[in-house]
Structures are given as structure tokens and as C-alpha cells.
């Protein structure tokens, strides 16, 4: 297996517990509107496996996401669990629900734009924001593997037809917004990436 393929597969494996790599996306990245309520630092606490997601404004249509995964030793000392991941993201509304599409950006794909792994680098999730809690339910790759989902339009129709079917989604994850003026709860994680 080529190193480029291994790296892309590792990125998908890392995301699959939360979201999952898919062959296409939903919405139109050229027509989407960036909603500022999603900007900021989001923390996903987990037993010895925290994540921080930094959501930046890319332009009027979308976001730039940076994800860092951490592991904690028995003494609770944090270290990076894997390489940081960067993605371009945009929003779409399907059946009245908000979805985010993320295009995972792997620098090695620039050298090989026609590679097979380039075609499977999307993540799609249903998102709901209430107060400072962001609930994320990734679309399960298993739920579409036997279907002919090759275009955003086909994917959107599938989601619309199965909007509330539990089988469509992966496990729900809940992120907490971190106040950038009060980072004490995650300061040890921020210190690792500085």
C-alpha cells in the first residue's frame, strides 16, 4: 500500500469513530452561507482521548477546521495522539435539519489529484447547537455502502428519505464550546499544541 493511501486511510479511521469518510458531500460549497455561531474552540472530552476542534471562518461560505486528538497517560499528562487534521467545511439544510460537510485536506493529495483516496475524503454530519453544546451525529459509511451515492443530490435525497432513521448515523458526540478568554479547563491540551 502506498504511503499516501495509508495516511488517508488512517485519517478516515481516526474520524470514523466520530464521523466517517464518505464518497461525496451534501450542499453546495459555492452557495453555502457561513453561520458565525459555529466559530470557536470545541472540546470533546473522552476517557483519556480528548479532542479539540478549532473552527475558523474561511470566507462568507464556509469554514476551516483544525482537529487535534490527545491521549492522557495514567498521570493525566496529555500528548498528541495523532497528526492534526485540517478540513474545509460548509453547511446545508436537509429536511429542516442542519448538516455539515467536511472535505479532509491531505497535503499529499495535491501531488496525486486523481488518486482513489482523494475520492473518499468527505465527512458529513448532522449538527445541532443549543447554548454552548454542539451535538454531532456523523453519517455512517455502512448506511450508504450498498447504495449508488455518487453525487451530492443523491446523497441529500437519501438523507431526506431517512432523516430520523437511527441506522443512518454513527454514535452521537457532544462538544462543549470553550470560551477563548477562559481556557483553564483545556489549558494542558493547548500547551501541547503551542
Percent of the chain beyond pLDDT 70?
84
CA distances from 190 to 22, 84, 147, 180, 183 (A): 30, 13, 41, 11, 8
pLDDT tens per residue, range 147-178: 999 999 999 999 999 999 999 999 999 999 99
d(CA 32, CA 102): 13
Min mean pLDDT across 45-54, 82-91, 93-102, 114-123 is at: 114-123
Q: Report pLDDT for 16.
A: 40
73 — pLDDT class (breaks 50, 70, 90): confident
Q: Report pLDDT for 18.
A: 43
pLDDT tens per residue, range 28-49: 999 999 999 999 999 999 877 8
118 — pLDDT class (breaks 50, 70, 90): low
Tell whether the model's pLDDT for residue 58 goes beyond 80: yes
Tell whether the model's pLDDT for residue 125 goes beyond 90: yes
Long-range contacts of 151-159 (CB under 8 A, 24+ apart): 151/24, 152/24, 152/25, 152/26, 152/27, 152/28, 154/24, 155/22, 155/24, 155/25, 155/26, 155/124, 156/26, 156/27, 156/92, 156/94, 159/26, 159/94, 159/95, 159/99
Task: Point out which residues pair with 113 in neighbouring strands.
Answer: none
User: Are 69 and 79 a contacting pair, CB within 8 Å?
Assistant: no
Q: For the whole model, what pTM was predicted?
A: 0.84
Mean pLDDT, residues 111-134:
80
> Grid coordinates in use for 36?
458565525
Tell whether the model's pLDDT for residue 6 goes beyond 60: no
Percent of the chain beyond pLDDT 90?
67
Cα Rg for the chain, rounded, in angstroms? Answer: 17
Q: Report pLDDT for 137.
A: 97
Helices (H), the chain: 3-16, 152-161, 187-193
- CB under 8 Å to 126, separation ≥6 — which residues? 97, 98, 99, 136, 137, 139, 169
Amino acid at each position: 500500500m502506498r504511503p499516501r493511501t495509508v495516511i488517508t486511510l488512517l485519517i478516515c479511521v481516526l474520524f470514523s469513530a466520530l464521523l466517517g469518510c464518505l464518497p461525496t458531500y451534501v450542499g453546495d460549497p459555492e452557495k453555502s452561507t457561513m453561520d458565525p455561531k459555529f466559530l470557536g474552540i470545541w472540546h470533546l472530552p473522552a476517557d483519556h482521548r480528548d479532542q479539540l476542534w478549532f473552527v475558523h471562518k474561511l470566507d462568507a461560505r464556509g469554514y476551516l477546521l483544525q482537529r487535534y486528538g490527545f491521549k492522557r497517560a495514567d498521570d493525566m499528562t496529555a500528548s498528541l495522539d495523532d497528526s492534526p487534521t485540517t478540513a474545509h467545511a460548509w453547511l446545508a439544510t436537509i429536511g429542516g435539519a442542519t448538516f455539515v460537510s467536511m472535505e479532509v485536506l491531505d497535503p499529499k493529495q495535491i501531488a496525486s489529484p486523481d488518486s482513489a483516496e482523494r475520492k473518499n475524503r468527505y465527512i458529513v454530519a448532522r449538527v445541532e447547537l443549543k447554548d454552548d453544546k454542539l451535538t454531532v451525529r456523523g453519517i455512517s459509511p455502512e448506511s450508504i455502502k450498498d447504495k449508488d451515492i455518487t453525487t451530492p443530490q443523491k446523497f441529500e435525497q437519501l438523507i431526506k428519505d431517512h432523516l430520523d432513521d437511527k441506522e443512518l448515523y454513527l454514535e452521537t458526540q457532544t462538544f462543549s464550546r470553550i470560551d477563548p478568554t477562559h481556557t483553564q479547563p483545556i489549558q494542558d491540551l493547548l500547551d501541547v499544541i503551542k
